[in-house]
Structure 1
Amino acid sequence: MKKRKLLKLSFTSILLLFILLLAGITKAQNRLLIEAESFENKGGWKVDQQYFDIMGSSYLLAHGMGEAVEDATTKITFPSKGKYYIWLRTKDWAPYPIGPGKFTLKIGNEYLKEFGATGEKGWKWYEGGSITIKEPADVQLVLKDLTGFAGRCDAIYFSSNKKDVPPNNLESMNSWRKKLLGLTETPETKGKYDLVVVGGGMAGICSAITASRSGLKVALIQNRPVLGGNNSSEIRVHLMGYIDRDNHYPALGRIVRELDNGDPHNANIDGEKYGDQRKESVVNFEKNIDLFLNMHAYDVEMEGDKIKAVIARHISTNQELRFEGRFFVDCTGDGSIGFKAGADCRYGRESKSETGESLARDTADTFCLGTSNMWHASKFEETSTFPETAWALHFTKDYFLDGPTSEWFWETGFDNFDALTEAEEIRDHNFRAIYGNWSYLKNNLKEKYRNYKLDWVGFIGGKRESRRLMGDYIFSEMDRDHTNSIQADAFIPTTWSIDLHYPQDENSKYFKGQEFLSKAVHKRVKPAHIPYRCLYSRNINNLFMAGRNISTTHVRFGSTRVMRTTGLMGEVVGYATSLAIKHGTDARGVYEKHLEELKSILKGE
């Protein structure tokens, strides 16, 4: 009898334990992840996707140039009513000791604490307290900027379980994020294309248009709302290089000319002068091109030594799409698709013993040309003020930059930052230089600048150099048409000098290790011609590349990186892809078996 009672108690205990466990699981399932970039009304906040490959998502940036931006708002529905604990992912981007990116979150009628100015480095999840939800549907969230100085919010997480803390480890967080957003392992496939072009700068646009006019079905994927890359209203760098100088192929350059919007110079306050609409109109007119703006391609599917598909995510909605292709061209600048596919690549400067170049260093290193964020101030009838910026770079009467606009030499990177893993820190360092100098001008040269006001600061970085993908040929300083025999496949004239940048001497004196100004060291050489073999990967069978990430040495890259020249690369890739498909071969096969036909096309025959 006693034994039976014990058995009954044990069963009751087990049942009670099961009920409690079930309640715990149910409680843990009451959770909700809101990506800030998915807010319905973004107000004055900007979607910033530049660091997706580093942090796994886009985020919202309060880019107000010193004035608080308009609120971002959205409405959400909670899984059920009850108590929820809150975490918000953000970053104090300038903790010197406390940064200026302060903002707050309002849920319904309740404001949470302030975020973004903690004095801690790096992206993190911060506790935001808790809230009791009485009506689960149509709860309004409001992101309220408090400074206008680049506050940023990645995501907001709600859970009914206080111990359900979101992961900070990026690998864990990426899978956790995909699960909560309901992203499937096999996203929707957007057809199968002859050529998938990743990157919508001049190189990518010219690749897509040339392939389209050659009869190919093309997908053009661009991770911003506009085309043009560095030559867009977002970055505002003018086109350089020449189309006709020493160009032996009359058909080469037609697309570049068609897209060329003249020379508005750098940092022009009139963003329309960079021709965003013109570029998009030309692309949209092409019946064979499917244009996908705001899609960031971040992963690949491989089939042996070939890319089968790329996976892209919308930078605001987080919708994922899959793009299958016969051929792919990496026009990302960073060579990110090639890198994901396992393409051979380089980063930094080669040694003189390796390349034999007179401009090479004695030893190899990781030095890269930098990134620019342009800015502009205009004169107005009314006066204006600008706050002191203790968190920015500190300028004095002994050293400041006098003038109402920037130029190309406002540049950060070099060997102070890694151009790939520290791209956000590079942009933010540019911000600290821009705002620190402008604060000095407004507060110490008041008579001169009292009527001037910042009216444009580019938050998208104009990057020069990072990863280079290796082809069957590596273009170098040794390629000089007037001294060496010309390569049989040398088509694209490099009309820009070998233009390499280094930290400016005076800037180094005052900001050693934190330089943000550059000097250019030019070596003027007669135009050499980039071989076709620099435009396809030597180990990924169906991967082309066009743009600043082609197969060159660091030294020769100094003459290949300008945008009219990269546009010519794109045209050659478009024609070569059409030949590869016509003859059932690959990129290398075009060189080995059909080079004369490619020359004939480029001659317009």
Structure 2
Amino acid sequence: MTMKYNSINNLLRIMLLCCATLTLHAQQQVFVETESFANKGGWVIDQQSFAVMGSSYLMAHGMGRPVGDAVTTVEFPAKGKYRVWVRTKDWAPFPKGPGKFTVTVNGKQLTPVFGESGNDQWKWYDGGEVNITEQQVKLSLHDLTGFNGRCDALYFTTAAKFTPPNDLPTLSAFRRKLLHTTELPADGGQYDLVVVGGGIAGTCAAISGARMGLKVALIQDRPVLGGNNSSEIRVHLMGDIDKNYYPKLGRIVREMDNGDPGNGNPDAREYGDKRKIDIAKAEKNLHLFLNTYVYKVEKENDRIIAVTGRDIASNQETRFTGTYFSDCTGDGTVGYLAGAEFRMGRESKTETGESLAAEKQDSFTLGTSNLWASVPVDSATTFPATPWAMQFSNEYHIDSYKADWEWETGFGNFNTITDAEKIRDHNLRAIYGNWSYLKNNKPEKYAKQELAWVAYIGGKRESRRIIGDHVLNQMDIQEGKMYPDGAVTATWTIDLHFPDPKNSRYFEGQEFFAGTKHIRVAPYTIPYRCLYSHNISNLFMAGRNISTTHVAFGSTRVMRTCGMMGEVVGFAAAVAKKYHSSPRGVYQDHLTELMNLLKE
């Protein structure tokens, strides 16, 4: 019955799209992705929900101060009257949110104010009719509040009764048709190793492989490298590299390390974005592709043969073919798209035998942080009331000039992948609500403090964990088991966050502040078998998505440790290529050579 229903549903979608296509041929139309605006002003590109939306969008992230206009010029196919549609949402409708903005066409402002509908779903809003008298048309997005108004796309049509689609499959096809996206993406080249994800783990994997003589592609979906250690997220590196059983490991991590600026430092330079990119670009065998979101995987049997990425601004698609692939996305995106076995959430005590495991299996994961910081200023400043944000009081507020790791949302209340936008927005509502309370109720301390930085890119901790030939568990860690393929030395505590009890008392089910209990461990090794997929024969992984239980993940997830995993992947890929083998083949047939590489 379900299969029949799905078939009918798909057929209806196809019919709808065909009808829409016939209509489109009979009308003039212009489709504009806002992320492709030539001058983005103070608006920023957000691609974090690409997996859900199929697109990036622009957001006015002004921390309560209106940002500069985003402006572009578009060529229209013909003059005449067009109806304008604006795709947006009200991200914090309590009852109406703060993300208000207007749209201007050739200097004329459309009548509606967008972003205050009271509806928190992405949808198309009617902007009214405009008369296009010149084929070169200037478009502007004008932010009214600085509080994260957002716009996905603008659509102009001469068909008065046509409404653009909202459901994702039809909308995705609609986008492709109107953007004239080719069915054949650009050729990004053939590589020995394709690394997807440019955090510390992925960057180290790419550099390691390149230095071993491999031709490497490093694909990152943001304009910077470093992931959680970049200036966009600002988490400091943790885990020791000087207690390593293999002193050669950690050298690349050390190159990436810009010192310890702490978490949420207001000075972006402290996180060394340029340093990381310069190191990567200096490698002659490494080809760097920034701002590219990988959303498609091609396979032959159990092997990945190619991945396709889309530029988060231009929407240009590029296809990368390779012999080996490494999923360093954190979310396990490549593995998921390829059909790799994975886990998400907590295993039960019965399943794993771990004393720290949950009584029952569930979907609980560690959350996502959006850090923030304020700085002192010479004179008193104001911050508006935020009725749409989380509400604080004398009884409960967080008295602090800046955030640390505790500002965290998730904990099973949200899915860290499909609810990424909701999680980030929940964090913003907590940050702005608390700051508004501090500014307006504690002037003696906060009058001359001003928000200097708020992260709009979420710093994730946990999502998918791809299953390898070994699943690291609590006993492996606490008993210090030394397997023959023990590769990366890890030192971080078993650090499993949970909602802060006081925060839960005041915001039950909407927690945004965490606690933890550090369970200290002696240095132990992570087996190489945790760094490749059990069922996708040419897929490595490094970072927080490696093969562990939820409990063990609490220790392996910190970035210096993840970077050393990447270094091992680079060595292993070189051994695999040398013998025309596979990641598993390296373990089965060439482990001595791999381990000797780590020792030399």
Residue 471 of structure 1: which of 468, 473, 479 is its match?
Answer: 468
SS at match of 2:410: strand
Q: How far apart in 1 are the matches of 2:267 and 2:23?
A: 56
Q: Which residue of 2 aligns with 1:420?
A: 417
Q: Which residue of 2 aligns with 1:343?
A: 340
Q: How far apart in 2 are the matches of 1:29 and 1:38?
A: 24
Q: Which residue of 2 aligns with 1:158?
A: 156
Letter of the 2:53 partner, please give it. M
Q: How far apart in 2 are the matches of 1:480 and 1:67?
A: 48
Q: Which residue of 2 aligns with 1:16?
A: none
Residue 95 of structure 1: which of 93, 96, 115 is its match?
Answer: 93
Determine if the alignment matches structure 1 residue 331 to structure 2 residue 344. no
Q: Which residue of 2 aligns with 1:37?
A: 35
Determine if the alignment matches structure 1 residue 241 to structure 2 residue 267. no
Q: How far apart in 1 are the matches of 2:491 and 2:235?
A: 18
Letter of the 2:501 partner, please give it. D
Letter of the 1:473 partner, please give it. H
Q: How far apart in 1 are the matches of 2:537 and 2:164?
A: 40
Q: How far apart in 2 are the matches of 1:256 and 1:111?
A: 51
Determine if the alignment matches structure 1 residue 488 to structure 2 residue 470. no
SS at match of 1:369: coil
SS at match of 2:113: strand
Q: How far apart in 2 are the matches of 1:277 and 1:26?
A: 45
Alpha-carbon distance, 1:496 to partner: 0.1
SS at match of 1:115: coil
Alpha-carbon distance, 1:447 to partner: 2.1
Q: How does 1:379-394 map to 2 (within 5 A)?
A: 379-394=376-391
Q: How does 1:508-547 map to 2 (within 5 A)?
A: 508-547=504-543
Letter of the 1:94 partner, please give it. A
Q: Which residue of 2 aligns with 1:14?
A: none
Normalising to structure 1: TM-score of the pair?
0.94
Judged with a 3 Å threshold, the aligned counterparts in structure 2 of structure 1 residues 351 and 26 are, in CA distance, closer, same or farther, namely closer
Q: How does 1:51-450 map to 2 (within 5 A)?
A: 51-112=49-110, 113-136=112-135, 138-245=136-243, 247-450=244-447
Q: How does 1:3-14 map to 2 (within 5 A)?
A: none
Q: Which residue of 2 aligns with 1:565?
A: 561
Q: Do 2:96 and 2:116's aligned partners in 1 also have CA atoms closer than 8 Å?
A: yes
Q: How far apart in 1 are the matches of 2:161 and 2:207?
A: 53
SS at match of 2:475: coil
SS at match of 2:335: helix
SS at match of 2:476: coil
Letter of the 1:558 partner, please give it. G
SS at match of 2:26: helix
Q: How does 1:544-555 map to 2 (within 5 A)?
A: 544-555=540-551
Q: Do 2:369 and 2:427's aligned partners in 1 also have CA atoms closer than 8 Å?
A: yes
Q: Which residue of 1 aligns with 2:571?
A: 575
Q: Which residue of 2 aligns with 1:9?
A: none
Alpha-carbon distance, 1:482 to partner: 4.1
Q: How far apart in 1 are the matches of 2:470 and 2:192?
A: 25
Q: How far apart in 2 are the matches of 1:60 and 1:546?
A: 30
Q: How far apart in 2 are the matches of 1:310 and 1:368?
A: 28
Judged with a 3 Å threshold, the aligned counterparts in structure 2 of structure 1 residues 27 and 471 are, in CA distance, closer, same or farther, namely closer
Alpha-carbon distance, 1:186 to partner: 1.6
Determine if the alignment matches structure 1 residue 587 to structure 2 residue 586. no
Q: Do 1:36 and 1:155's aligned partners in 2 also have CA atoms closer than 8 Å?
A: yes
Letter of the 1:130 partner, please give it. E
Q: How far apart in 1 are the matches of 2:486 and 2:129?
A: 65
Q: How far apart in 2 are the matches of 1:29 and 1:316?
A: 27
Alpha-carbon distance, 1:481 to partner: 6.7
Q: Deviations over 1:187-227 (max 9, x none)?
A: 01111000001000000010000000000000000111111
Letter of the 1:462 partner, please give it. G
SS at match of 1:555: helix
Q: Do 1:268 and 1:376's aligned partners in 2 also have CA atoms closer than 8 Å?
A: yes
Alpha-carbon distance, 1:172 to partner: 1.1
Q: Do 2:477 and 2:552's aligned partners in 1 also have CA atoms closer than 8 Å?
A: no
Q: Do 2:379 and 2:448's aligned partners in 1 also have CA atoms closer than 8 Å?
A: yes
Alpha-carbon distance, 1:296 to partner: 0.8
Letter of the 1:541 partner, please give it. S
Alpha-carbon distance, 1:239 to partner: 0.1
Judged with a 3 Å threshold, the aligned counterparts in structure 2 of structure 1 residues 89 and 583 are, in CA distance, closer, same or farther, namely same
Farther-moved stretch of structure 1 (146-155 vs 105-114): 105-114
Judged with a 3 Å threshold, the aligned counterparts in structure 2 of structure 1 residues 26 and 175 are, in CA distance, closer, same or farther, namely closer
Q: Do 2:480 and 2:523's aligned partners in 1 also have CA atoms closer than 8 Å?
A: no
Alpha-carbon distance, 1:171 to partner: 1.1
Q: How far apart in 2 are the matches of 1:201 and 1:254?
A: 16
Alpha-carbon distance, 1:487 to partner: 1.2
Q: How far apart in 1 are the matches of 2:455 and 2:229?
A: 12
Q: How far apart in 1 are the matches of 2:409 and 2:421?
A: 11
Q: How far apart in 2 are the matches of 1:398 and 1:473?
A: 48
Alpha-carbon distance, 1:184 to partner: 1.6
Q: How far apart in 2 are the matches of 1:141 and 1:564?
A: 45
Normalising to structure 2: TM-score of the pair?
0.95
Q: Do 1:90 and 1:116's aligned partners in 2 also have CA atoms closer than 8 Å?
A: yes
Letter of the 2:247 partner, please give it. P
Alpha-carbon distance, 1:25 to partner: 5.3
Q: Do 1:468 and 1:552's aligned partners in 2 also have CA atoms closer than 8 Å?
A: yes
SS at match of 2:496: strand
Q: How far apart in 1 are the matches of 2:100 and 2:49?
A: 21
Letter of the 1:209 partner, please give it. I
SS at match of 2:151: strand
Letter of the 1:508 partner, please give it. S
Q: Do 2:480 and 2:522's aligned partners in 1 also have CA atoms closer than 8 Å?
A: no
Q: Do 1:44 and 1:72's aligned partners in 2 also have CA atoms closer than 8 Å?
A: yes
Q: How far apart in 1 are the matches of 2:301 and 2:77?
A: 44
Q: Deviations over 1:312-360 (max 9, x none)?
A: 0111011110000001000000001110010001100000000000000
Q: Which residue of 2 aligns with 1:48?
A: 46
Alpha-carbon distance, 1:27 to partner: 6.4
Q: How far apart in 2 are the matches of 1:372 and 1:28?
A: 48
Aligned length in residues: 579
Q: How far apart in 1 are the matches of 2:42 and 2:101?
A: 13
Q: How far apart in 1 are the matches of 2:377 and 2:133?
A: 50
SS at match of 1:413: coil
Letter of the 2:297 partner, please give it. V
Q: How far apart in 2 are the matches of 1:29 and 1:174?
A: 20
Q: Give unmatched runs, 5+ long, in structure 1.
A: 1-20
Q: How does 1:445-460 map to 2 (within 5 A)?
A: 445-460=442-457
Bigger Rg, structure 1 or 2: 1
